[in-house]
Amino acid sequence: MKGEKQVTMKNGRNALSGTCSVCGTKMFKIGGGGGGAKAKAKAPAKKAAKKKAGKKKK
């Protein structure tokens, strides 16, 4: 990719925008650019709650 520039999307995530060095097509790489000090910390993944079946063991 050439002519890269770091952009911030509406949701606050970082991305790289530029053009393909082979064909000249506009490219957009989500998550690119490293982020530096402005990067938000990832929230811990939530575990799905297990639902118990309606059957009771005897």
Q: Which neighbouring-strand residues pair with 3?
A: none
Per-residue model confidence as pLDDT tens digits over 12-54: 899 999 999 999 999 988 886 555 544 444 555 666 666 666 6
DSSP 25: -
Q: Is residue 17 part of a domain?
A: yes
Residue 10 tokens, joined: 């509406």
**What SS3 class is residue 37?**
helix
Of 8 and 52, the structure prediction assigns the larger pLDDT to 8
Q: Is residue 44 part of a domain?
A: no
Report d(CA 19, CA 39) in Å as an integer: 24
Q: pLDDT value at position 47?
A: 65
Place of tokens 């790289």: 16
Q: Is residue 13 part of a domain?
A: yes
* Tally of domains within the chain: 1
Given a contact cutoff of 8 angstroms between Cβ atoms, the answer to whether 19 and 35 are in contact is: no
Q: Is residue 57 part of a domain?
A: no
Nearest to 9 by CA among 24, 22, 23, 28: 28
Segments forming the whole domain that contains residue 25 = 2-34
Q: pLDDT value at position 18?
A: 92
